[in-house]
Structure 1
Amino acid sequence: MQTYLVGGAVRDALLGRPVSDRDWVVIGADPAAMLAAGFMPVGQDFPVFLHPVTHEEYALARTERKTAPGYHGFTFHAAADVTLEQDLARRDLSINAMAQAADGQVIDPYGGQRDLADKVLRHVSPAFAEDPVRILRLARFAARFNDFTVAPETLALMRRMVDAGEVDALVAERVWQEVARGLMEARPSRMFEVLRSCGALARLCPELDRLFGVPQPPAHHPEIDTGRHVMLVLDHCAQDLAPLAVRYACLCHDLGKGLTAPELLPRHIGHEGSSARLARTLSERWRVPNDCRELADLVAREHTHVHQSEGFSAEARLRLMERCDAWRRPERFLQMLWACECDARGRLGFEDRAYPQRARLQADLQRLLALDLGAVSASAMAEGKTGPAIGRAVQQARLEALLSA
């Protein structure tokens, strides 16, 4: 039995990046030998075991064969006669197809070290085409290693996969898993650029794909192109270390601009409602978690109002916060303001411009949360008020708090 460190841990160590998770492959063993050595089985589709002390994953070396379309259409063969090179050959990219022996020697049969040096994302073998998830994974790696390029032959292979309909067989949960991870990388725009370059974006997210080439007023959007603007917003989110819900909301906030009638361009009056509708459609398709889908809906509906709020009266700001359910969902309201700031700064030349709307509405919210509404209600009831009248007294107290600021 021989064990080798494999995959991302080897890649990241060679790049001088922190190694968080370590995966191992075992050569020359079978499940009985692993159990006899004290390993605990956890794999369902193929033999994976947890080390009895470190609890790291050890997988038996295996080969795989495509048997049906999509992500789940594989059969696996794991046995003591499977070699390390055979196991590495089934991996997606050359930079992920390296192993390290106990003495530190790097086993690199498919040129991973060369591609790391050249900063290239290249598929290991034609078997890449058998798993459409690999398109998403490569796009995600492009967002992480944003100075890497995709090998021309790999991009061509991805295009053939899209044309063959492989992407259409992806299950929603796996699409969201990869997209969510890509959104949290250093430069999320690269993920969508790669997906668009191979045609996968039009299949997975046509609402976003159609934004590219749609013009906006140059006075407000010097970058002009709506798709380009969304990419700038996402990268500003990453620079600002925004959480996933904020990044997803920014991805969706302008989707409705792709539906603006040509005769109305470059203005997009009323795009907020259609953006919210398309965000809900996309969230349903990808089975997005509730916190992300709710924030995306809110930001799509209200981002223009937040941008304009510097000129709002106290009454208008109060109505905005009411629509956003700000006092019952204060954290979501604050995340909406964060997304709006990223939207405002995701424009050419606006990256460092002040966005006072966020600070002002945050301060407004804190004033309202600090109100003793129990005392307000008690006072109203002492005056003989009931039902809606008490609600109006609470509303008046909130308005006075904003007027006195």
Structure 2
Amino acid sequence: MQAETPAADAGIPVPGAAYVVGGAVRDALLGLPVHDRDWVVVGATPQQMLDAGFQPVGRDFPVFLHPRTHEEYALARTERKTGPGYRGFVVQAAPGVSLEDDLLRRDLTINAMAQDARGGIVDPHGGRADLRDKVLRHVSPAFAEDPVRILRLARFAARFGDFTVAPETRELMRAMVRAGEADALVPERVWQELARGMMEPSPRRLFEVLRDCGALARILPEVDALWGVPQRADYHPEVDCGEHQMLVMQAAAALDADLPVRWACLMHDLGKAATPAEILPRHIGHEARSVALARGVAQRLRVPGECAELAETVAAEHGNIHKSLGFGAAALLRLLQRCDALRRPRRFASVLLACEADHRGRGGDFPRQPYPQRERLLAALDAASAVDAGAIAQGVVAAGGKPVAIAQAVAVARERAIAQAIPV
């Protein structure tokens, strides 16, 4: 693994010594594209940065934007824990803080490397070896001072799906959860890290790592409760609801689904964990329970409206969409109306994509089976949308019909169009 030498802007000299740090070094060593670079400056003061033309950003510690490249340059700094959660820190940035001091405060060894102007790698904590061995390992005991690092590590596990968590790091994370650090996480940061982690190539690893250390039960107990809940093996060869949930997340990733779809996939079956024991492994009525639980999670984590609304629709209707091959024109139209498909066709396409991921996210032969429900429902929507409701309304009014007759006439025309367009 060889990193490229960081390019210097000769027109704007940087006070002190500047190093590329963190993800840019890691990704270059892995042979991955580097889109953004962060820099650490050693031996400079805030005033010297200002005098050189750098623009200050942020209030918590000295970070500056390069006047030409607009890349971030942060003064080397140390942190000291002063309170619970991720906000309880005092930051010290001074010319005497060394590069090694700065790297020591970082989360993982693979993120605690730097590169100098000649291309040399500074690696005081074995990050290069951990990249080679595919290990996620904390840099120092200071990892335990910031609970967001639990979420960040899980997110990196989702990005690098074949990396394992070092045993000592796993135990440290478990100790953090037992100490209540995960309870100090604020909703905005939880959502931010979950959203980023769900969009990585291996989203199931995000939840597996969080579950292994106990954090999932603290931040998403509704999802954690799915493990150990059985379901019918003829529909779900994987049987366990938690395993099904992880297969669905991977299916959504394979379908290149966007964030609202992936969130809907995560929420769609929450109600199965609340199924009365006497009717297991059947899950009668789990859709309504899932809607209520998904709504509660969205409120607690302040989930964006687009994600929350899609999740509720998928939770409510995924069972009907799976069964829709047997629906006649009238039932298909009612399903389209409940999903608000006629007004929001793009959103309905997302609903169907989440349902396809649900279908494929099972054991046995399900991942390789086609999902004709999706194309059939899209064809039904096209047929219903092609009906000229305005012309029908004008005809009803001209004939002296009442307003209620307009809706009835439009529905009849849409049913007829659906029946003509697709086999029912």
TM-score tier (shorter): over 0.9
Which one of 285, 307, 311 corresponds to residue 296 of structure 1?
311
Q: Report Cα offsets for 1:219-261 as digits up to 9, x if no partner.
A: 1100000000010000011111100000000000000000111
* Aligned amino acid, residue 162 of structure 1: V
The aligned residue for residue 46 of structure 1 is 61
Which one of 74, 93, 97 corresponds to residue 78 of structure 1?
93
Name the SS for the 2:26 alignment partner.
Answer: helix
* Aligned amino acid, residue 367 of structure 1: A
Aligned counterparts of 2:381 and 2:57: Cα–Cα separation in 1: 48
The aligned residue for residue 395 of structure 1 is 411
Name the SS for the 2:299 alignment partner.
Answer: helix
The aligned residue for residue 162 of structure 2 is 147
- Please report the RMSD computed on the Cα atoms of aligned residues, expressed in angstroms: 0.7
The aligned residue for residue 353 of structure 2 is 338
Aligned counterparts of 1:366 and 1:22: Cα–Cα separation in 2: 47
Q: Which stretches in structure 2 are left out of the alignment for 5+ residues?
A: 1-15
Name the SS for the 1:82 alignment partner.
Answer: coil
Q: Report Cα offsets for 1:340-381 as digits up to 9, x if no partner.
A: 000000011211101100000011111122222211111111
The aligned residue for residue 381 of structure 2 is 365
Q: Report Cα offsets for 1:43-99 as digits up to 9, x if no partner.
A: 211111000000011101100011110111111001111000000000000000000
The aligned residue for residue 225 of structure 1 is 240
Which one of 347, 352, 370 corresponds to residue 362 of structure 2?
347
Which one of 260, 282, 299 corresponds to residue 275 of structure 2?
260
Name the SS for the 2:353 alignment partner.
Answer: helix
The aligned residue for residue 326 of structure 2 is 311
Which one of 228, 247, 254 corresponds to residue 239 of structure 1?
254
Aligned counterparts of 2:379 and 2:72: Cα–Cα separation in 1: 48
Q: Report Cα offsets for 1:287-311 as digits up to 9, x if no partner.
A: 1000000000000000000000000
Aligned counterparts of 2:241 and 2:51: Cα–Cα separation in 1: 60
Aligned counterparts of 1:109 and 1:388: Cα–Cα separation in 2: 76
Identity of aligned residues (%): 64
The aligned residue for residue 8 of structure 1 is 23
Count of residues paired in the alignment: 405
Aligned counterparts of 1:55 and 1:368: Cα–Cα separation in 2: 51
Consecutive aligned runs of 4 or more in structure 1 exceeding 2 Å deviation: none
The aligned residue for residue 222 of structure 2 is 207
Could you tell me the TM-score, scaled by structure 2's length? Answer: 0.95
Aligned counterparts of 1:54 and 1:216: Cα–Cα separation in 2: 55
Aligned counterparts of 2:161 and 2:75: Cα–Cα separation in 1: 32
The aligned residue for residue 25 of structure 1 is 40
Give the Å deviation of 1:30. 0.9
Q: Which stretches in structure 1 are left out of the alignment for 5+ residues?
A: none
After superposing the two structures, state which structure 1 stretch, 48-57 or 362-371, moved more.
362-371
Aligned counterparts of 1:387 and 1:68: Cα–Cα separation in 2: 64
